[in-house]
Structure 1
């Protein structure tokens, strides 16, 4: 009954804001447009369509607001008026009362607000679908006055989200049963991933931990700033962090007027994304413009400032290697290798013809190379790949859904900053360096260092284990084994020289392999 009630609410809101009329008028058929005019009779639909869509999404709740946030970065797929309105969802969702926020803070810490902060701004600086942020000041342990940002979870969020997720899970089951593509698309697994990450957003301590991890990972890159967390003031529904000063990245003219190198800023964004994905396997997965600023402070001028770490993505070493090989093959236009990787990973059936899949991938990707980003729509590329994949029964990988979403966000930011940015050319040097580190002596020595503690723990036990083994063997057997060992020693001596030369050959082979990989990238 809860699902039915929520479904009725969704239908009512859609009709209330005229979303049915908006959809019908988008068709070319005259009779559908006529139906839209009839449906609008008796309703006040004088407000602009973008405003009506934004207000409907706000009315429907956090999941729909997040959907609008993702759409707002795709200006190449939306009319400008709708894109402009949806951009307001990024940090201008209607706030909840300050008294409610203060009550939540005092309940979380069991202390009055005045004992926590020396000042507290009742007017929120940002209000999003899950929480809102207030600026404040406090005195730290060293007696210094610190400017902080206080993030407070919206009240009653869990109940609202679970109602919507119940409906989405039900719709996913219907799609899987009724659609021919249902099994291949894995809708239930995809929704399960979305469910997990959405619930993770409701635990602000988890967000604070993710921010701390990203801060450590990015410390040596000098391209992005992540706020410091005040762990004594972090709870599941309230967290306190360092206040960051900068210009919202969506205000490109202000950023340019401040003297920031815009093309470099766009390239740095690509570098940050690929570093987080391929080096760390831990990436900020909610990179819409509302969560990104640009520092204009002298010490950190031109760096990105990341905010809101409620959604982060993780990749295994296998995922990273597979993706890196795919990207590298794409950059080299080696579509046969891309097809082979799809088969090797199990994304397509083993009996798939490589030459047919290769030809299909080439027809999708080849037209987009050597063109500036303003002439490329990654969304259209993905759409064409999706249509092509139906023919080959490609299975969607739920663990990569967040990565795909983040890649779209990065593309949207890149297009907004520098329409002439060549996404492929910018990413290629980074992937080249990463791939070279995955083969050759560097990886060998890195893995040897990683395994060294394991072998160090084993060595002290070796004498005891050897003594126990010898005690269990009869003396005659030991003598016979000793004679055999002495007889084999001569062969061992002869082999020793071959082993030494083999080791030298192995090292030389690794160096040659690294040289070949480098030459293939250059070619």
Structure 2
């Protein structure tokens, strides 16, 4: 099955002329030389961006998601390709309406007409894994119904298997493969894809994020209607807004795009450092802007989580970067085990400074994060830095946030926008506020434990006395055993001597 899928990938690539793009952009590489020798030059009527988009759509969900991520990186892509890939965000070809009705009828055990007061057969959005229809509940509530694509599970399973095979080959054939942990990265990606295939999990993700941002002035999250949710269908509040990518329409509505870009950064850091729970698929197709200027979150299939240790480590590194304290950054990496313990801090500090110093005090539009990431990767190779699979989704989300900020406000200073928030968060974690908060958090436990202290102390002392007595008894028994062994040895020696004395006349 993997060979069949691999053959399809090669066939689709040739059909849409992706080999010609390799000829153009990888001519000086060994792979490009092979393509040049094996495949003839061809001409295509459709532009290269359109051909790439159509190829990704033909190859399925994982490739569509890859294109979605690339579409936010306009600083890394030619504009014609970026514009075409942007169409993958909410314009993936839908599946037929009769299949939608069949899926819902199978989930509810009755026709759709008996579940909803009204159901729109035409989808309003179609994505790589599911598509969305508007409907009306029996009580008149307007909702959005997200339905999983039929037969999507085996396609994703095959693609993940291919990715795992590719990751295995990278580990075996590339010197840096093992350090980059590609198989662990694929496993992390597969876990999030598995979550996307269960609408009940997505419903719980949505509910949690809504609870985290209850009464927030920054972000709206739809309400979930649990009575109508199932494994292949998610029913949630219908949200109204303008796609965040339509900047002209937002300006016409009087939305302050600079304030909107700053709010996006604040939402991201709030999710990461306050909650340790963040929307990990924040491409523009999943975000609306309400009439009052609030963000509206959609599509909760991929969510990321961070432990307290991850949050503290990330916050310390962010702040150290902002303060240009590169020695602290280097030491934090060594303490976390991300680089070997034998790494010289001063050398690592110098390397980080060379990469990061040029990006400060410059607006976002003047920063080439592509070159910065490349130089960081080179630094990682030099110091044997290990990729952290648990943070892959966070890295992807940070790229999305950067692309969104660039689109809304090219002058946005990402660092200065985030620095006050992080400083406040760190003061709450390690300052006197943190001490008071920990006291309040532990107060209920202390209230329950204090009355029991005399009994617990008596039990501990009694247990300690019993342990000491048992240890003393074991020590005496061991001493007695050693004495017995000596007595037996002496008895055997004396018996031998007596026996020799008796046998002496006969010897």
Q: Could you state the TM-score of these two structures normalised by the residue count of structure 2?
A: 0.88
Distance 1:429 1:245, change over 3 A: same
Match of 1:414 in 2: 405
After TM superposition, list the pairs within 5 Å mapping 1:164-175 onto structure 2: 164-175=159-170
Match of 1:328 in 2: 319
Matched residue of 2:380: which SS? Answer: helix
Asked whether the equivalents of residues 18 and 40 of structure 1 are also in contact (C-alpha less than 8 Å), the reply is no
Match of 1:507 in 2: none
> Which runs of no fewer than 5 residues in structure 1 stay unpaired?
475-523
Shift of 1:383: 2.0
Asked whether the equivalents of residues 378 and 408 of structure 1 are also in contact (C-alpha less than 8 Å), the reply is no
Asked whether the equivalents of residues 22 and 35 of structure 2 are also in contact (C-alpha less than 8 Å), the reply is no
Match of 2:94 in 1: 95
Match of 1:137 in 2: 136
Match of 2:373 in 1: 382
Matched residue of 2:89: which SS? Answer: coil
Match of 2:84 in 1: 85
Match of 1:193 in 2: 188
Shift of 1:38: 8.6
Shift of 1:171: 1.1
> Which runs of no fewer than 5 residues in structure 2 stay unpaired?
466-507
Shift of 1:412: 0.2
- Distance, in Å, in 2 between the alignment partners of 1:151 and 1:472 is 60
- Distance, in Å, in 1 between the alignment partners of 2:62 and 2:208 is 26
Matched, 1:206 2:205: no
Match of 1:341 in 2: 332
Distance 1:242 1:471, change over 3 A: closer
Asked whether the equivalents of residues 378 and 411 of structure 1 are also in contact (C-alpha less than 8 Å), the reply is no
Shift of 1:457: 3.3
Q: Which of the residues 234, 244, 267 maps onto 1:272?
A: 267
Asked whether the equivalents of residues 21 and 37 of structure 1 are also in contact (C-alpha less than 8 Å), the reply is no
- Distance, in Å, in 2 between the alignment partners of 1:235 and 1:355 is 56
Total equivalences in the alignment: 464
Matched, 1:440 2:431: yes
Shift of 1:268: 0.3
Larger Rg: 2
CA deviations on 1:40-89 (whole Å, 9 max, x unpaired) are: 55x66221100110010011010000000000000111111100110010
Matched residue of 2:361: which SS? Answer: coil
Moved over 3 A (4+): 27-41, 459-474
Distance 1:253 1:473, change over 3 A: closer
Matched residue of 1:283: which SS? Answer: strand
Matched residue of 2:98: which SS? Answer: helix
Distance 1:368 1:106, change over 3 A: same
- Distance, in Å, in 2 between the alignment partners of 1:323 and 1:470 is 43
Asked whether the equivalents of residues 266 and 418 of structure 1 are also in contact (C-alpha less than 8 Å), the reply is yes
Matched, 1:39 2:34: no
Shift of 1:240: 0.4
- Distance, in Å, in 1 between the alignment partners of 2:384 and 2:38 is 42
Match of 2:237 in 1: 242
Asked whether the equivalents of residues 294 and 303 of structure 1 are also in contact (C-alpha less than 8 Å), the reply is yes
Distance 1:177 1:132, change over 3 A: same
After TM superposition, list the pairs within 5 Å mapping 1:107-126 onto structure 2: 107-126=106-125
Match of 1:11 in 2: 10
Matched residue of 1:245: which SS? Answer: coil
Answer with 24-33 or 339-348: which moved more.
24-33
Match of 1:480 in 2: none
Matched, 1:181 2:176: yes
Answer with 465-474 or 265-274: which moved more.
465-474
Matched residue of 1:88: which SS? Answer: helix
- Distance, in Å, in 2 between the alignment partners of 1:342 and 1:471 is 46
Q: Could you state the TM-score of these two structures normalised by the residue count of structure 1?
A: 0.85
Asked whether the equivalents of residues 200 and 206 of structure 1 are also in contact (C-alpha less than 8 Å), the reply is yes
CA RMSD of aligned residues (A): 2.1
